[in-house]
Structure 1
Amino acid sequence: MLDSVAAYVRRSLHAAGGRTEEQPYQVNGRTYRNIIASFGPETGPRLIIGAHYDVCGEQPGADDNGTGVAALLETARLLGQQKTLPYRIDLVAYTLEEPPYFRTPQMGSYRHAQRLHQQQVAVRGMVALEMLGYYDDRKNSQRYPFGPLKFIYGSRGNYITVAQKFGNGRFGRQFARRYKHAAGLPVKRFKAPAWLPGIDFSDHLNYWHFGYSAVLLTDTAFYRNAHYHETTDTLSRLDMRRLGLAVDALLATVLGSR
């Protein structure tokens, strides 16, 4: 199944105009692969935008992480329509983000970040797309790893979050500010110690490991979406309009950065 998804993603990224390649690697005798599409100049520092395409078990995974992959593919389509880009942008679809591989060197994002580090590639920053389509306008629909945070960020799950750790560098600060300015939906900028639960719950954590500035763009996952890692994580529960707004803001932020 993962191979068929990888093939579909590569075809879609190629059709959008990306220069595509695979990054295969072995885990327990099986081959897994990241799919990479490059846009813009071939040389110079690059921005990494990534989303994992595996799911946890036998769930539909519509939000986790179908929305992240959909956002990645739509970003590719929009980038392919640009006559010029200010710098190189690599879109990466990762494998093996979910358990039992999470927080291990078998994660696709670990292998990708490791290769960048080994090749001494200059990286402007990284954006992880993780669950972007679930919203709830009701009071008390939003939870937090630390209860009093609701008095700062509100109790309605109607926003998207740019999350990052303290000391994340210039890229993280600029991306969060520009994304909030560009977005057509509410955006909360969240910065916390890396040990706070949830702050590193996606592929960006591996770029931190190799010293790159990275942010998480998310609807806050299980802090809002009770269908996380359940068979009820289906397409019918998603807000496609707000997912589209999230992608539009991503493109505006990327194109506006120099």
Structure 2
Amino acid sequence: MRRRTPIAGLALALFAAVTATLAGAPATAAPMAVAPAAAPLAAAPALAAAAPDISVTNVQAHLTQLNSIATSNGGTRRAGSAGYTASVSYVKSKLQAAGYTVTEQTCTSCTYPASNLIAEWPQGPADQVIMFGAHLDSVAAGPGINDNGSGSATLLENALVLAQQNPTMTQRVRFAWWNGEEQGLQGSKFYVNSLSATQKGYIKAYYNFDMVASPNGGYFINRVTSTTAAPLKAYWDSFGLQPEENTEGQGRSDDYSFANAGIPTSGYAAGASYTKTSAQASKWGGTAGAAYDSCYHKSCDTTANINATILDRSADGVAYTIWQLAVGGGTGGCTAGQLIGNSSFDSGTAPWTATSGVITNSQGQPARTGSYKAWLDGYGTSHTDTLSQSVTLPAGCSSYTLSFWLHIDTAETTTSTAYDKLTLQVGSTTLATYSNLNAATGYTQRTFNLASYAGQTVTLKWTGVEDSLLQTSFVIDDVTLQVA
């Protein structure tokens, strides 16, 4: 994870984790020392029965190789260094042997030009991609085993297990290991900028894993309430872990490059230099008042700087997510839940896409709950506002209920002509149209059955169009899409 830098408007959460093991590492290495695990918790139920158990011993073996590579190359795997090149070679050789389509992309605009490593499992529809990434570089000061060998090794072992199991795929899975994250997310920015609009549209979700084994760590998820985060959260919820939003990582890792391109993102993290609270220590174990990782960006970030329990649960959560989203048969049934992220608009704008100013806490129109709502139109001039969010509806559920609360306020006096209109679309299909003729005091709940879209990723879109005279305000709040 790169250091926090003052960037205006930074509001997206960090998601990072990828696997890495490095070529040219010594054949033998000292046994890995493991930091104390968090307080023991009940074993997970059979939530991920269809997903494989990822061996934390194998993940640790990759970390040992990464540490050895750094030791053989001046104690670092910094982008562009010999240690980084050896890391790319090791990961690449493992993936090629497993049957992946592997590409090295040289980041020519990076401070230290070197390769991003992209590996795609050649099954599943090429226009339906679920992507998993982590940065492979360390800082110059140390070997970077938690930051970010932990994410890199987690993804590498997941990729190898996917190839070994060779299941039927319903989505295409792509893994990435990034160059130059520590210099400002340079490798992932270069990759995203190299994609055409069509290629970006193929990527339905990006999951980032950055520091997933912090020795005094916690259980953090980027955009924890979003639809994209749902499978990651479901796995950790099965342990009763009560994961929290990764506020420390907002805008600081490679998920930010994808989020800026409009691609839904999430990911696991265990914390960096921030301090663990007493409440967090009570539910997760560890030491209150101490940093999640006291070796963050230091030479002591070695194999001794790893919490094996968090690493294990992160690796298995990745496997659960892959099987849930991309493997035929998945969990064998419906994963019930609420699919809309930031449903009351009180957590910023993500994952919504909206015309500037639509998501607002302006007092001109009250929210139904909280302080924020989506306020479309209300200008009294020719104007169009939009609000949208893409969601993936799981197959196999018995009910798919879209609900939102709508308040319509108008200055139009006619009782017969719809001058100003709000339409709701699912994809290219119009579900409903409202107008100034539907104005009423307070909010009214609107409900729709979306069962016909089961198993699909669709975009829900509200469009408000106002004519040149007399305002009509369409105010939306508390949007939910409940599947059961």
Same fold (TM over 0.5): yes
Task: Please identify the structure whose Cα radius of gyration is greater.
Answer: 2
1:86 paired residue among 166, 170, 187: 170
Pair 1:217–1:201, CA change in 2 (3 A): same
Cα offset, 1:190, TM superposition: 1.2
Which residue in the other structure is 1:186 paired with?
241
- Residue 170 (1) aligns with residue 252 (2): no
Say if 1:164 and 1:199, in contact at 8 Å, map to a contact too.
Answer: no
1:40-189 aligned at under 5 Å gives the runs 40-41=123-124, 43-82=126-165, 83-98=167-182, 101-102=183-184, 107-121=186-200, 122-136=202-216, 157=217, 159-164=218-223, 170-172=227-229, 174-181=230-237, 184=239, 186=241, 188-189=243-244
Tell me: CA distance 1:59–1:45, structure 2 relative to 1, closer, same or farther (3 Å). Answer: same
8 A Cα contact 2:136 2:148, kept in partner: yes
Alpha-carbon separation, structure 2, partners of 1:114 and 1:32: 16
Q: Deviations over 1:33-86 (max 9, x none)?
A: 111111132512101100111111131211001111111111111111232222
Determine which structure has the larger helix proportion and give its number.
Answer: 1
Higher relative contact order (CA 8 A, sep 6+): 1
| 1:210 aligned to which of 244, 253, 261 | 261
Tell me how far apart the structure 1 counterparts of residues 94 and 242 of structure 2 sit (CA, whole Å).
29
Structure 1, unmatched stretches of 5+, are 137-156
Instruction: Report deviation, 1:32.
Output: 1.4
TM-score (norm 2): 0.43
Give the distance between the partners of 1:23 and 1:119, measured in 2 at CA.
19
Q: 1:200 to 1:187 in 2, by over 3 A?
A: farther
Contact 2:237–2:243 (CA under 8 A) maintained in structure 1: no
Distance 2:98 2:307 in 1: 24
Matches within 5 A, 1:10-29: 10-27=92-109
What's the CA shift string for 1:58-116, capped at 9, x where partnerless? 31211001111111111111111232222111000000000xx215xxx1111222233
Distance, in Å, in 2 between the alignment partners of 1:218 and 1:190 is 10
AA aligned to 1:203 is D
**Contact kept in structure 1, 2:232 and 2:268, CA below 8 Å:** no
Letter of the 2:170 counterpart: P
Compared CA separation, residues 49 and 197, structure 1 to 2 (3 A) = same
Please tell me the residue identity of whatever aligns with 1:132: V
Counterpart residue number, 1:242: 310
Q: Provide the aligned C-alpha RMSD in A.
A: 2.4
